[in-house]
Amino acid sequence: MKSDSKECLYCQNNETLHNLMIEIAQLSVSRVFLFKEQTYRGRCLVAYKDHVNDLFELNEEERNAFMADVTRVTRAMDKAFHPEKINYGAYSDKLSHLHFHLVPKYVGGPDYGGIFQMNPGKVYLTEAEYQELIDAVKANL
């Protein structure tokens, strides 16, 4: 299902988006967010700057720039949080704005060795704790 930019969470930049995540930075062709739900410590999302439904819709230059942004964020997350692995999720069945979920996984942590949950709804932080995570990512971007 292709979404309309007028109804898109990322394009509308509305309260629903801000209830789910905090914008960290704008990169060359994308926006970086920290998920408020932090079961997976340091979980971020990278969304393409324009309303594009799928990766294949980008030309080679745009695709390479987007993937460079994704790589830049995962490197920053790796340096900041030292996870065992970062899982990538590009699900867009109901919201087809190009975005990648970047989910750090830790040995002995939630769902290690399995699929991460989209929104477990278990771990929320204080404003100071969110800021600490944001600062750690930004320092390594």
The pTM (predicted TM-score) of the whole model is 0.94
What number is the average pLDDT over the span 44-52? Answer: 96
Kindly report the number of other CB atoms within 10 A of residue 105's CB atom: 19
CA R_g for the chain: 15
Q: For domain 5-140, is the CATH number 3.30.428.10?
A: yes
Domain edges within the chain = 5-140
Tokens of 99: 């975005």
Assess whether pLDDT exceeds 70 at residue 66.
yes
Q: What is the pLDDT of residue 2?
A: 66
